[in-house]
Amino acid sequence: MKFLKATILLLLITSCAPIRVNYDFEKGTDFSKYKTYSYYADMKTGMSELDTKRFLDAFDAQMAAKGFMFSETPDFFVDIKSSEYQEAQRNTVGVGLGGGGGNVGGGVSIGLPIGQANVNRQITIDFVDENKKQLFWQAVTESSFSPNATPEKREQLFKALAEKVLAAYPPK
């Protein structure tokens, strides 16, 4: 019973992992002139084909909710890149041994890692005005990522990511 409670608590904590988003934009940009968008044809997202589709579906839904339309002749293009990395292991158990006498001392300590390192995914979303050949808005997200997650969990994560990314677009 204690194992079940601990497992549920661990799942609850890890499922609520924060999504961090950093924004940047070109000062002086008139965001009201951008109403339609499209994706670069040669976009390499760095995600699997299925994850790319899940993310683009979630992103399109959020863009539509904000009043933007997908178009073959867009006002701006969206470029999406991602990468995965492992966080440094922080959970360790220290085992030490020491001794001393008189004016002489010595010791040995070993840190043993516990558990697995977290896998994180960083996704960069660029909005580019092709007429000016200029990046005018960018969002960089970081969140934990489970390569073994179910398709439903991945879909939920991508919906949350798209919502959080576009919450600050257009900038005030």
Question: pLDDT at position 7, please?
Answer: 47
Which stretch of DSSP H or E encloses residue 143?
strand 134-144
CATH code for the domain defined by 30-87+115-172: 3.30.160.670
Of 121, 140, 119, 137, the C-alpha closest to 129 is 137
pTM reported for the whole predicted model? 0.71
CA distance 35 to 39: 14
76-125 residue pLDDT tens: 999 999 988 776 655 555 555 556 666 665 565 666 555 556 778 899 99
